[in-house]
Amino acid sequence: MKKLLICMFIAILSITAATVYANDAHHKAAENQKSYSAKGEVVAMDSALSKVKLKHDAVPELKWPGMTMFFNVADKSLLDTVKIGDHIEFEFVKVDGGSPLITKIKPVK
């Protein structure tokens, strides 16, 4: 009986440890949110403000039609690899009360 209790205790400890570890792997709040991927074209950029205007394809997961809109970028350096007119693939998270935030962006050939 005592052995069983010890086993259960260890099992609970490992589950707790796994959960803490999983949460610790993410540092930015944005990375904890669901991210979506889409394709589009760069229409305008403002690196100083970490903003980019994209003409993006539909995002079926969010029931978004294709449109031209501004996104914020998580880091200015994300815009270093793209220029106006580039066709791109990007990942973003939704932000309550603000423009969606791009976490990854890369040109496609």
Q: What's the min distance (Å) between Cβ of 25 and Cu ion?
A: 30
Note whether 95 binds Cu ion by CB under 5 A. Answer: no
Site for Cu ion in 34-93 (CB under 5 A): 67, 69
At 87 the three-state DSSP class reads strand
Q: CA 63 to CA 58: how far, in whole Å?
A: 8
At 101 the three-state DSSP class reads strand
At 7 the three-state DSSP class reads helix
Q: What's the min distance (Å) between Cβ of 42 and Cu ion?
A: 14
Query: Would you say 43 or 69 has its CB closer to Cu ion?
Result: 69
